Amino acid sequence: MIALNGLRLGVIALLMSASAGFAADLQQCVDIALRQNPDIEASAAQLAQAQAALTQAQGGRWPKLTASITGTRTNDALNAFGLKLEQRGATFNDFGAGQFTGPGALGVAPANLNYPGSVNNYNTRLELQIPLYNGGMISGYIDQAHSFVKAAQAGDQAARQQLVFHVIQAYQGVHTAQSYVKVALQAKATAEAYVNTTRNLMKQGVVVRSDLLFAEVNLADMKVRLEEAQRAEAAAVDQLHLLLGMKLDEPLEIGPDYTPGPMAGSIAALQAEAVAVNPGINALRSQLVASREGVNVARADLYPHFNAVVRQEWNAPTLQQSAPSYTLAGVLSWQVLDFGVIKGAIGRAEAARMELQAKLKAAEEGVRFQVADAWRGAVEAESRVNARVDAVAQAEEAERLVAKRYENGVTTMVEVMAAQTQLDKSRADEVAARYQLTVQRAALRLAVGKLDGGQL
């Protein structure tokens, strides 16, 4: 409880700092998400279930002690006489001895034996059940539970890496949306400048009124694009709030943008590493091991089962410990004929194992493809970023030259707007290229299984 309260205080302090102007960088956003995202809470609950199942399976190999008290009142002839025997209280009179007058009374039905009065009994019992041999069923359940725990641990790791990837997408998505807003603001400012320039040139008689109308239409279009960019920015911030497990109205200011560095190694080397360490693949491997143990559990019914019982009990007409007795028993059972029930269970378990084996093979090939695709995507995105940077510089110079010519009255507003449109597009393309570079490099780390939320 103390640790939980401390965790909550830390989150609250972080959010208060954010509301006071503190910028939460990507690492801090990831830390918050890993603490309070509902998907991570669900993954932790699944791991807890697997660990509890292991505890349950391990308990099956130990003896079980049961204590019970049973109160009975009956006038059933057989049970009433049996209860008197258990209480060590049976007498000759219970056999109808008073009605026996000699050999001639052998055919008489004794009333005390056939029609007894009501008998009260309290049975106090301690029973110890000891599993000795069950065909490997108990050990199979334990090994299966161990494998499920490993699968849940790997699954939890996979869920965490998947969440880190989504946080990176959302975090950088906010930066991308903010960059689009900046591009839109630049375009709007440029459009406003063209309106003013055109108005002045029209007063001087250099251009006609249609040029001013074109410039004003262009400005109106830039204002609409700015509103669209601002709306996209608000949606990106809301998406990040959801991933962090925060309310949409909680203040959140993000830190600097993030672009992971390239991963060293060839495609083949990274593919081999992914197949070996990807947590999703390892989760499937552990599930496959668990399915093999499931086959062993099903086969256990082919063998005899032997268990022991040790019982101590007391019987009395009142709630007290008297007339003690004990029972020692060994129970050997072997299901000899079941018309295919055990065989069917084994076949079903074996089919489940084969299904998981096929899924594992497909997943291994799938992760190889993901690595290759993300690796190629990252290389392409890096080249695209370099090209877009050059394109922006060229478009800025072209726009400057066209604007100068327009001010000198040697070109038209159509060419001016074409130059501005190309510049806006180049700037937007650069923003998109940088976002794709971040996503592709993060996707490569996710596919390999190296997207560690603690080392961004």
162-200 pLDDT, tens digit per residue, is 999 999 999 999 999 998 898 889 889 888 888 888 888
CB 300 within 8 A of CB 135: yes
Q: Which amino acid is at 446?
A: L
Structure tokens at 302: 């082919």
CB 80 within 8 A of CB 116: yes
User: Shortest CA distance to 176 belongs to which of 430, 445, 451, 389?
Assistant: 430
Handedness of CA 78, 80, 86, 89 (dihedral sign): negative
Please give the model's pTM, rounded to 2 decimal places: 0.78
- Kindly state the average pLDDT of the residues 33-52: 91
Q: What angle, 0 to 180 degrees and rounded to 10, lies between the N-to-C axes of helices 26-36 and 2-19?
A: 140
- Kindly state the average pLDDT of the residues 106-122: 90
Domains and CATH numbers, the chain: 9-61+136-310+336-448 (1.20.1600.10)
Q: For the ranges 110-119, 308-317, 410-419, which has the lowest average pLDDT?
A: 410-419
Q: Which amino acid is at 142?
A: I
- Kindly state the average pLDDT of the residues 394-414: 83
Instruction: Say if residue 91's pLDDT is above 50.
Output: yes
Q: How many CA atoms lie within 13 A of 433 on its CB side?
A: 20
Task: Give, for 173, the enclosing helix (H) or strand (E).
Answer: helix 137-203
- Within 8 A by CB and 6+ apart from 86, the residues are 121, 123, 315, 323, 325
- Kindly state the average pLDDT of the residues 117-142: 95
